[in-house]
Each structure stands twice: as C-alpha cells, then as structure tokens.
Amino acid sequence: MPVLINALIAGLALGAGASAALWFLYLRPLRDRLTTELANARVIVDTASQGIVTIDEHGSILLFNRAAQRMFGYSLAEALGQNVSLLMPAPEREHHDGYLQRYRHTHEKHVIDKTREVTGLRRSGETFPIELSISAVEAGGRLLFSAILHDITERKRLEERIRHMAHYDELTDLPNRALFYDRLKQAIALARRQGDRIALIYLDLDRFKPVNDHYGHHTGDLLLKAVAQRLRAGVRESDTLARLGGDEFAVLLQSVNSLRDVAAVAEKLSDSFSAPFPIDDLMISIGASLGTSIFPDEADHADGLVKVADQAMYLAKARQQAMVAEVDDAYYHASHDPSQAE
C-alpha cells in the first residue's frame, strides 16, 4: 500500500510540473498522513480481539489478523494465499468455492451482512463453534469478502451446562422430574401407536431420613449418589432411571413383553439394597419400597401411571413398616415373658 501511495503522489507531482512548493506544502504531508492512517488501521485490525479474515473473490486469504492466528493455530505466513476452505471442516470445505461463484454471478446475499453460527477447523484438526459476520466490498476493482469471527466455545459450553441443569439432577446426574415426565409422555405416545406396553416403577428409600438426620446432609448426599450408581446397574440403557426429588426415584421401562419382565427388574432393583453402602468410614444399610404400574393395563396417560405406581409404592412401604412393627413387638414380648426365662 505505501508503494501505491508513493506512486499516486509522484504522479500528481509530475502532473503539477513537479513544483517543489507543491510537494513540500501539500503532497508530502498528504503522503505522510495516509501512511500514518494506514499504519494505525493495521494496528487496530491486528490487535482486535475478534478474528478478522479477508479473502478475494476466489477464496484466497489476503488478511489474517493475530486473533485469527490464535483461533485457528496458523501463522500469518502459513495462512496468506491459502484458500479459506483450509479453515473449514467437511462438508463446508467442499461447497465453499461454489458459494463464492454463485454470489459473483447473482449477488444474492444468503450469508452476506448476516450473523450466523458455523463450525471452524483448527490446525490441530479440532472443530469449534464460531459466530461469523461477513461483508462484501469492492476495492480497486476487486471483490473482497471480510469476516469477523468470534470463538463461542465457552458460550456454547455454558449454554449446554444450563440445558443440562434444567433436565438433570445436580447431585446424581440422573434425569430429573421434568425430563422424566417428558420421556414418559413420549414413551406413551409411541407405545400407543405401536400397540406396546410400558411400565413404571416408583421407588422410595426406607430409613434414609434417620441416616440424613444422624450423620448430616453430606453423608446423605453421598448415600444418594451411591444408590443411584447401584440402581443404574439394574436397568437397560434404553430405559430411564430418574431422581424425582428427595429420596424418590423412578424407572421407565420401554417395550415390556410381560408382567414377569417388570417383576424381574423390580426384584433386581430391590436386590441393590441387600448389601450395605460404604460411605466414608461407615457401612450404611437401607432398603427401598417399590410400586409399579403398566400402560395401558392400569392407566392410559402419564399422570394416571404415576398415581398408580405411587399408591402401590406407599402400600408396599406400609406393609414393610407393619412387618417391622410385628417383629419388634414379638421380640419385646419374648424378652419379657417369664416362661422364657431360664
């Protein structure tokens, strides 16, 4: 660019009769000012926090600022003159030259002057999300395209984290109540179309509250995480195990062939509590009460299935508590019966 400025000013000077006064008073200050402005512009572009890439109408890279170099992992020397498709993964790489050709012929702005999200390709082969804005300009009779690029990897991670938190339990990383109900409704709709059965198992922990009260919430949280790990081993990958809140869990079984299948899974889940849970230096023994419901046998909608399984679970818990009370009562009377004394 300084060469072009010097040539322009030299031409003006010759056309004006190479007057020394004209040169010193007007043309040299103009050259110096233009050179300074050009240098300032280069500094601004090169120190911008956004990646800036300029290409010609054939896709060759003409400008590749420092932020773009850090973003993609290519040095300036490596990038200049290369086709910009170097920075794109397949299939965008194969189609890019066609996009440029169509724009040259039609000038239809499908992506020009718009902000959109695309995928970039680093030198290492890693892909990453980019927010991209492209503008087209004509300079010196040439059509140029300039892009401003933002690496939005961290933003995407934060968005994914927020989405995950909205649908998964923070403690156990199991689907939460909202996601469970969504999957339950989808499963019912699919089962209704295909004439299948699905089953719901509700599970409530026994003796969890005394553990939580006696040893504290930290131990209670560790116990819930350990319970979730054991329950995972008792269900198929195609089924959904969820924590509904507190010490309540639920399992959605897809494509149930028979009631025996449901009973087998329920028994496997119950067996998860046969051994104590090692928590820190403690060995904690708890149990669980289970209730089941079958679609469409016992209910034909989500709320109905949940209600039936919930009622069955509380009946099981009441029976378990009654059995414990009977055992305690029998032990009390036996220990106070004079006829049992030696």
What per-residue confidence (pLDDT) applies to 42?
A: 63
Q: Has 247 been annotated as catalytic?
A: yes
Q: What angle do CA 70, 112, 150 make, to 5 degrees?
A: 25
Can you tell me the distance from the alpha carbon of 324 to that of 326, in angstroms, rounded to the nearest whole number?
5
- Torsion region of 195: left, alpha or beta (phi above 0 gives left; psi -120 to 50 gives alpha): left
Which residues have CB under 8 Å from 217's CB, separation 6+? none
Domain 169-335: CATH superfamily, name plus number:
Reverse transcriptase/Diguanylate cyclase domain (3.30.70.270)
| Local confidence pLDDT in tens for the 342 residues of the chain | 444 444 444 444 444 444 455 445 555 555 556 555 555 556 566 667 899 999 998 899 999 999 999 999 999 999 999 999 999 998 888 777 777 777 777 777 777 888 999 999 999 999 999 999 998 888 778 889 999 999 999 999 999 999 999 999 999 999 999 999 999 999 999 999 999 999 999 999 999 999 999 999 999 999 999 999 999 998 999 999 999 999 999 999 998 988 899 999 999 999 999 999 999 999 999 999 999 999 999 999 999 999 999 999 999 988 876 554 443 444 434 444 443 433
Check 247, 280, 281, 297 and give the catalytic one: 247
Domain 46-167: CATH superfamily, name plus number:
PAS domain (3.30.450.20)
Can you tell me the distance from the alpha carbon of 145 to that of 83, in angstroms, rounded to the nearest whole number?
13
What per-residue confidence (pLDDT) applies to 109?
A: 72
Under 8 Å between Cβ of 245 and 177: yes
What per-residue confidence (pLDDT) applies to 139?
A: 78
b/e for 309-325, b at 16 or more Cβ within 10 A?
Answer: bbebbeebbeeeeeeee
Q: Is 207 helix (H, G, I), strand (E, B) or coil?
A: coil
Under 8 Å between Cβ of 48 and 70: no
What per-residue confidence (pLDDT) applies to 204?
A: 96
What per-residue confidence (pLDDT) applies to 40?
A: 52
Can you tell me the distance from the alpha carbon of 309 to that of 253, in angstroms, rounded to the nearest whole number?
13
Can you tell me the distance from the alpha carbon of 267 to that of 260, in angstroms, rounded to the nearest whole number?
10
Torsion of CA 252, 255, 259, 265, to 10 degrees: -50
Under 8 Å between Cβ of 133 and 115: yes
